[in-house]
């Protein structure tokens, strides 16, 4: 036991949720004393900052996620309570409805930080409308908590029209919000140049295939953005600029990088996107000097990209074929949610239709066999690229590992060989990064789904809806041949161009 009281909790509960009878300090006045198991759960979701070592609960003071009862379903220890006394703690709680990932991130003044992720569909845990707020209890001891500041933000996908921002704060501190959603807008050059400090070198974030990307701050709307400046001598860059504005201005999804605005003025071609503070996925997968991406984050990223492609292929007004799905085009927001970006090669097609034959476009290693050979691209070729990406996330290896072998070793070939030997988990990213700290069932699902997507025969590949079902454990794992089949180009749905 400890000499501390019980702690503080953030909660979501039905409107007007009362303090239950027989509630104790350990339940933060949110559950009654008998609510200690999932069988007796109530429609309340809690992230608790527990400072008391309760009997029958987690072994040490912890930050935990509670679903309907005060026994944490996922938790992480709170390091050195004595060191945290009178200290300021920062916490971020996020939920992504697309990937169903609930996450609590907390850090102390001594630099200690932890991440508590849990996959849960909150539609099964809460009613449509909820109150949010804080609860605390002292139990048999005295303890004081000060909330220096807090904020609540919600982003809703609205397919058409505009909503109105409506925020109500009740005396209990509950908040509900509906956000205004607007499309991209044309920007003025005289406002964009100051936003990037006239494209100062120190604001440069990186370089793409057809221009540089800069960090900037727009005044209208007031936000940090990433601004792509297309090179003036790039004809292909101009084509991609037009294609990107045409495609991305029509789509909106939580797992797509949003286009904020564009500018074509005085020879400048600029595209402004929402700023992704954690950069691209490939930088985290292959940066040996940085912190490795933990397995729950990797699996959440894979599911996020799958959700983005499902939307593009089946749920948007017009089918969008991305044509350049790869790890460097997957961006990560402040909470490491995945956002698929770079629509410069994307094409709009009718649902159920094929693609025109074009010059080969995309990135070697991610190109489907039929695309690399004939130039034809389709939803199926996007699925192939996602399969390579899924294996990349699971294995921590590039699509083509040149190593010491001439021509390099294909990631798909390598993993398929291990699959045929019944040893697919040996491909997991153990060296330096994951070790053995991963969910074996999730790892197997991600790699088998990746191989299924990367099937050489486009007719044997799953749809992104089926892939999503596999990753959500809603569909059984497919059985694949023990040896990788030869590519087949027959029966490919397309319209030849003249």
- CA–CA distance, 138 with 144 (Å, rounded to integer): 8
Q: What residues contact 22, with CB distance under 8 A and at least 6 apart?
A: 32, 33, 34
User: Among 50, 66, 324, 382, which one carries the catalytic annotation?
Assistant: 324
Instruction: Give the residue from 461, 455, 459, 450 showing the smallest Cα distance to 486.
Output: 455
66 catalytic residue (yes or no): no
Kind and range of the H or E run holding 319: strand 319-321
Taking each helix axis as running N to C, give the angle between helix 464-471 and helix 379-395, from 0 to 180 degrees, rounded to the nearest 10.
30
Q: Within 10 Å of residue 270's Cβ, how many Cβ atoms?
A: 24
Cα dihedral 383, 385, 388, 389 sign: negative
The single residue listed with the structure tokens 């198991």 is 37
Beta-carbon-side half-sphere exposure of residue 285 (alpha carbons within 13 Å)? 26
- CA–CA distance, 411 with 389 (Å, rounded to integer): 10
Q: What residues contact 352, with CB distance under 8 A and at least 6 apart?
A: 319
Tokens of 125: 């845990």
Q: Which DSSP string do the residues of 324-361 spell out, in sequence order?
A: ---GGGEEE-TT--EEE---TT-EEE-TT--EE--S--
232 annotated ligand binder: yes
The burial of 440, by beta-carbon neighbours within 10 Å (0-12 exposed, 13-18 middle, 19 or more buried), is given as exposed
Q: What residues contact 287, with CB distance under 8 A and at least 6 apart?
A: none
- CA–CA distance, 342 with 337 (Å, rounded to integer): 16
Query: Does residue 96 sit in helix, strand or coil?
Result: strand
Tokens of 218: 């727009």
270 and 325 Cβ atoms separated by less than 8 Å: no
Q: How far is CA 100 from CA 54, 94, 95, 120, 237, in A?
A: 29, 10, 7, 5, 37
Q: Within 10 Å of residue 362's Cβ, how many Cβ atoms?
A: 22
Instruction: Give the residue from 364, 401, 374, 385 showing the smallest Cα distance to 464.
Output: 385
Burial readout 193-210 (b: 16 or more C-beta within 10 A, e: otherwise): bebbeebeeebebeebeb
Binding residue numbers for ATP: 232
Any idea which residues carry the catalytic annotation?
Answer: 324
Binding residue numbers: 232
């Amino acid at each position: 036991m400890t000499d501390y009281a019980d702690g503080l909790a953030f909660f979501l509960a039905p409107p007007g949720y009362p303090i239950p009878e027989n509630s104790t300090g350990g339940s933060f006045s949110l559950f009654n004393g008998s609510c200690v198991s999932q069988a007796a759960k109530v429609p309340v979701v809690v992230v608790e900052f527990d400072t008391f070592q309760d009997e029958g609960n987690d072994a040490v003071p912890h930050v935990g996620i509670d679903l309907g009862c005060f026994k944490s379903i996922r938790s992480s220890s709170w390091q050195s309570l004595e060191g945290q006394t009178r200290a300021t703690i920062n916490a971020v709680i996020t939920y992504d409805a697309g990937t169903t990932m609930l996450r609590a991130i907390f850090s102390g003044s001594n630099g200690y930080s932890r991440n508590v992720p849990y996959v849960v569909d909150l539609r099964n845990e809460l009613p449509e409308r909820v109150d949010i707020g804080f609860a605390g209890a002292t139990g048999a001891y005295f303890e004081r908590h000060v909330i220096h500041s807090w904020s609540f933000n919600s982003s809703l996908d609205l397919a058409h029209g505009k909503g109105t921002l409506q925020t109500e704060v009740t005396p209990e501190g509950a908040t509900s919000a509906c956000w205004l959603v607007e499309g991209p807008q044309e920007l003025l050059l005289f406002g964009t140049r100051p936003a990037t400090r006239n494209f100062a070198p120190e604001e440069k974030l990186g370089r793409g295939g057809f221009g540089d990307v800069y960090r900037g701050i727009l005044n209208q709307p007031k936000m940090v953005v990433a601004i792509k400046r297309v090179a003036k001598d790039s004809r292909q860059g101009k084509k991609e600029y037009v294609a990107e504005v045409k495609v991305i201005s029509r789509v909106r999804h939580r797992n797509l990088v949003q286009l904020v605005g564009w500018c074509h003025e005085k020879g400048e071609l600029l595209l402004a996107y929402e700023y992704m503070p954690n950069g691209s996925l490939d930088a985290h997968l292959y940066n040996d000097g940085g912190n490795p991406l933990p397995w729950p984050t990797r699996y959440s990223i894979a599911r996020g990209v799958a959700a983005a492609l499902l939307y593009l292929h089946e749920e948007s007004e017009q089918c969008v074929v991305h044509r350049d799905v790869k790890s460097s085009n997957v961006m990560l927001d402040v909470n490491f949610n995945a956002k698929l970006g770079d629509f410069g090669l994307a094409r709009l097609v009718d649902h159920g239709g094929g693609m025109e034959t074009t010059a080969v476009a995309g990135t070697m290693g991610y190109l489907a066999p039929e695309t690399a050979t004939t130039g034809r691209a389709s939803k199926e070729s996007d699925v192939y690229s996602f399969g390579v990406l899924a294996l990349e996330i699971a294995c921590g290896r590039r699509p083509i590992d040149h190593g010491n072998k001439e021509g390099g070793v294909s990631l798909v070939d390598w993993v398929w060989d291990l699959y045929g030997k019944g040893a697919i988990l040996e491909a997991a990213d153990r060296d330096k990064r994951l070790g053995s700290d991963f969910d074996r069932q999730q790892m197997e699902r991600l790699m088998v789904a990746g191989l299924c997507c990367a099937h050489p025969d486009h007719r044997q590949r799953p749809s992104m809806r089926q892939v999503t079902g596999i990753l959500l454990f809603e569909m059984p794992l497919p059985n694949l041949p023990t040896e990788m089949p030869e590519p087949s180009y027959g029966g490919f749905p397309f319209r030849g161009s003249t």
